[in-house]
Amino acid sequence: NKPTLDQCYNLLDFEAVAKRVMKKTAWAYYSSGADDEITLRDNHSAFHRIWFRPKVLVDVEKIDMSTTMLGTKTSIPFYVTATALGKLGHPEGEVVLTKGAAKHNIIQMIPTLASCSFDEICDAKSEHQIQWLQLYVNKNREITRKIVCHAENRGCKALFITVDAPQLGRREKDMRSKFEDNGSSVQNNNGDSMDRSQGAARAISSFIDPSLSWKDIPWFKSITKMKIVLKGVQRVEDVIKACEAGVDGVVLSNHGGRQLDTAPSGIEILAATMPILRERGLENKIEIFIDGGIRRASDIVKALCLGAKGVGIGRPFLYAMSAYGLPGVDRAMQLLKDEMEMNMRLIGAPTIADLEENMVDTRAVALH
Ligand code: FNR
């Protein structure tokens, strides 16, 4: 007696259904966080420490939640972030997310470690749909160069280099469930044999280059015209370095709590970062995104009030896809849009530009 789709009223409902219906190994891979999962839990609860300061008597008859991210227009300021191994949750894998995102005019970030091939995910997109590439940098830079150039040729608009995973974190739930193949394949473009005794995550990540450093950034700029964003920045000093390195954006993120446990949440790093960027006149030099724990449109609104250009959402769409396929992804996106419209109306912000820092109270935020 699985609940029907119209009995799912918010993103957390999809998670509850997914937990019941997914294969144990798949659930373990998607839901796990690193070590004691303190960061994983705090990613969501950090939003509860921020309170709204709504404006009243603003004309909110019409709400426009469209915006731009990295120079392209989008219907709402969130994107589907990169999550590996889509076929663990659904036989068609990542293309299900592509189709859902197309319907709602939402940007999709394609993971290096997708279950579908990169070309399958590109081929599934609609005519004007925007896709970005998430990149794990290979020890063999020629392989990386080929992946990047191919993505650019296929029309990807931005390159998100993951910088928080020189080694994959220990996700013990995943390790315990001992990754079994489940018939899904991983296109990681490396011929290394996989040690599956360590769980799915570690099995697929052995090619990632732990020597990647700031010195490599100019090389990326030399091989592509795509916008370059560093995904997984966790302190303001590194945001400033990213500005100096001339990249176009950063994602303040702890990889969904899957890497360094007790790393702070993206929303709290954002609250601590923006005042310093403003002080230095850097706030318009770079686009700031966050991800991790975003489950409600109110979370998105808080991030935008604090200065984020947009936010990434990972697990909720995986859960919606695993539980209900494309109709699930479609409904999850629509629920967020409906919530967003209501939240903007109730806070007194008819457009994204009207979301201001003084509409949130961050005094209970842990990081300062
Ligand atoms: C991820 N994430 C991720 N990030 C990345 O850069 N490359 C990857 O291959 C993956 N794979 C991946 C798989 C799964 C199952 C999850 C849950 C996450 C991290 C992801 O992009 C993002 O940072 C978090 O998922 C955001 O947190 P929420 O929305 O899942 O809470």
- Predicted TM-score (pTM) of the model is 0.94
CA distance 358 to 368: 17
Give me the catalytic one of 136, 174, 238, 248.
136
Residue 119: per-residue pLDDT = 97
324 is a catalytic site residue: no
Q: Half-sphere exposure (CA, 13 Å, Cβ side) for 180?
A: 6
The ranges of the chain with pLDDT < 70 are 178-204
What is the per-residue pLDDT for 296?
98
Instruction: Identify the pLDDT of residue 180.
Output: 54
Please indicate whether residue 266, judged by its CB atom, sits closer than 6 Å to ligand 1.
no
Tell me what pLDDT residue 189 has: 41
| Residue 68 parent element (H or E) | strand 67-69
Task: Give the per-residue pLDDT at 177.
Answer: 82
Asked if 104 is an active-site residue, the reply is: no
Q: Are strands 249-252 and 287-291 parallel, antiparallel or unpaired?
A: parallel
CA distance 318 to 94: 9
Token output for 284: 């318009």
Q: Which residues contact 327 (CB under 8 A, 6 or more apart)?
A: 5
Active site residue 174: no
**Neighbouring residues of 345: CB distance < 8 A, sequence distance ≥ 6:** 60, 63
- Tally of CB atoms within 10 A around 51: 12
With b for 16 or more beta-carbon neighbours within 10 A and e for fewer, the 156-175 pattern comes to: bbbbbbbbbbeebbbbbbbb
Q: Is 216 exposed, middle or buried (0-12, 13-18, 19+ CB in 10 A)?
A: middle
Q: Which of 309, 276, 273, 316 has its CA nearest to residue 294?
A: 316
Residues 156, 226 contacting (CB under 8 angstroms): yes
Q: Is the ipTM of this complex over 0.85?
A: yes
Nearest CA to ligand 1 atom 1: 83
DSSP calls for 266-331: HHHHHHHHHHHHHHTT-TTTSEEEEESS--SHHHHHHHHHTT-SEEEE-HHHHHHHHHHHHHHHHH
- What atom of ligand 1 comes closest to residue 255's alpha carbon? 23
